[in-house]
Chain A
Amino acid sequence: MATNTQIPVADRRAPVIEPGHSFSTIGEKISNIVLKRPISLGWVFGFFVVFSLMNVLLLALGYLFLKGTGIWGITIPIGWGFAIINFVWWIGIGHAGTLISAILCLLRQSWRNSINRFAEAMTLFAVACAGIFPLAHTGRPWLAYWMFPYPNTMGYWPQFRSPLIWDVFAVSTYFTISLVFWFVGLIPDLATLRDRAEHPLTRGIYGILAMGWRGSARHWHRYETAYLLLAGLATPLVLSVHTVVSFDFAVSIVPGWHTTIFPPYFVAGAIYSGFAMVLCLAIPIRAIYGLEDFITMRHLENSGKVMLATGLIVGYGYGIEAFMGWYSGNTFDAFLLWNRLHGPYSAWYLGLIASNIVIPQLLWMKKFRTSTFWLWMISLVVLAGMWLERFIIIVVSLHRDFLNSSWGMYYPTKWDFMTFFGTIGMFLTAMWLFVRILPMVSISELRTLLPEAHVHEAAEVEK
């Protein structure tokens, strides 16, 4: 059956949907996870763990707001530490979601239909985690709203030349659009859940969320236009967001930050880490909830390929940085290069090279691309590597800049780590809830992948 589907490239490759599925089986299988499947002990235990981790975040932030950013390891000259590292890391992770749902949608990569839903969810949660840091890292968080342009009695306005203001606009826009995009995608599935729900309360809730969607042809028509346009808007947006984030560094004059290569290689790095996170989540989820039929090896392998490609772009970025350090003849850049290789943080730099450039080369081999275990391990390595990359860029550039007299060292404190791991807890908590209350695979989009969904020749016959 899979062989005679109308989808291109079904042959010889793992199919997007395993054979034997109909409109209702798809709807059933996916909605049952939400509606029927009993809450397992494993889920509860896992939730307890990640939720406690989230409370570590609350604790760390509470203490932070009480005492001030001095509880972190930051100092002069290293004014930015874990907070901004984590911010960039999370934002980067978010990018994969938008990329899958928007860019692959535009490129008519129909295989993305089965992973875009939770990829988008991942985006939202990641951006939410990222959003915590710019606020928390300010010395006076209770005044951070001053970064928004609003009329005030002081007659004061934001300073629009600052990349941080660009960040405010880019990130908030990104979050809003991602949220809208995600919700629009959810509407038909919410209708499905509404119609399948037995308990009146459940039906009521999904009913309200579905906003009375009834699958009218006119609605579908506008819906598809809107969805396509949103995809078209989200594509430049996602590219712009990490570009803007890279401007935080590229616009400054700090050696190691002041680089024109940053925008493209930040975007590539973002997608790199994003797909790593997608795999980290997809591999266990499909196993636990028996979604191997919908999230097939094809998806995993494709994600692996994307990682390989973006990883190589990132590697190129490092190469250019190093080359420029030598070629520019600028003593400060030259020293930066030396300092990365031989300075006090050289071990971190080598770790970065190993985990971002060397190890992912395994993905050239199908054996690794098609082994869930190896894919999962490599994704973890890449996630760590991308975090290291931000550490190198931020800390190692700042700790030895122009005046030798003002060089310093950065030692993160326990509060730094608590805040970081806390956000991971928050991210996972959100995921934990998501898989149980919303369809983690897009039902309606998945249905369109079934052969019966395609009516051209049928229509011809009629004419």
Chain B
Amino acid sequence: MNDASTYGLMAEFDSAQELVAAAHKTHSAGYQKIDAYSPFPIEGLADAIGFHKNSVAFLVLIGGIIGGLSGYALQYWVSTIAYPVNIGGRPYHSWPSFIIVTFEMTILFAGLAAAFGMLALNGLPQPYHPVFNVAAFAKASDNKFFLVVFSTDPKYDGARTREFLKGLAPRAVSEVPS
């Protein structure tokens, strides 16, 4: 069964098409814990490895709501409770004047939620990752495409999985040491 010394097996492909196809096959072959790597986003690749929806949008929604509410609350509290002063005969609660700051705060919080939410969910920053141990992986940011089956996958078996990957006609299959 699984041996702890390997992180997984990595297959290298030349084109996006091949990678997507291979990912499909691997996933439909029952492998769950797999991942694909490409120098640019490829439509359908995530689906191919069975990753369909992410929760970034939800985070952004929450961020926006918090930002907006806190923005308005701050202004209301300041202008009517903490420091109510007669400004040019205007009412303390001059709501039309408060809309802009509310809006800006909404955008600010939502935007930060989007960026940092994405990084957090992706587990970045992550200085070390086993896949980098494979020399060829340097091309993952250039013009090569990779498919990895993790050793943590229940169906994973060193020899058999290697055979299976070979069957996908990759340019090469290499072991990813952990």
Contacts and interface: CB of A to CB of B under 8 A. Distances in A.
A202 to B, nearest CB: 14
SS of B interface (majority): helix
Interface string A165-184: 11001100100110011011
Nearest to B107: A237
Nearest to B88: A161
B45 A229 contact: no
Interface in B48-65: 48-49, 51, 54, 56-57, 60
B20 A458 contact: yes
A425 B41 CA distance: 38
Contacts of A421: none
Given A230-B111, A459-B21, A444 B40 contact: yes
B40 A218 contact: no
A225 B37 contact: no
Contacts of A459: 17, 20-21, 24, 44, 48
A56 B97 CA distance: 39
Contact of A447 (B35, B40, B127): B40
Nearest to A212: B126
Contacts of A207: 127
Contacts of A453: 16, 40, 42
A222 interface: yes
A217 B46 contact: yes
Contacts of A222: 54, 56, 118, 121-122
Interface in A220-237: 220-226, 229-230, 233-234, 236-237
Interface residues of B, number: 70
B78 to A, nearest CB: 4
B122 A218 contact: yes
B103 interface: yes
Nearest to B103: A240
A157 B100 contact: no
A216 interface: yes
Interface of B: 15-17, 20-21, 23-24, 35-46, 48-49, 51, 54, 56-57, 60, 74-75, 78-79, 82-83, 87-88, 90, 94, 97-98, 100-101, 103-105, 107-108, 110-112, 114-115, 117-119, 121-122, 124-129, 131-132, 137-143
Which 6 pairs, one residue from A and one from B, show the smallest C-beta to C-beta distance? A211-B125, A226-B118, A458-B17, A23-B143, A212-B126, A221-B46
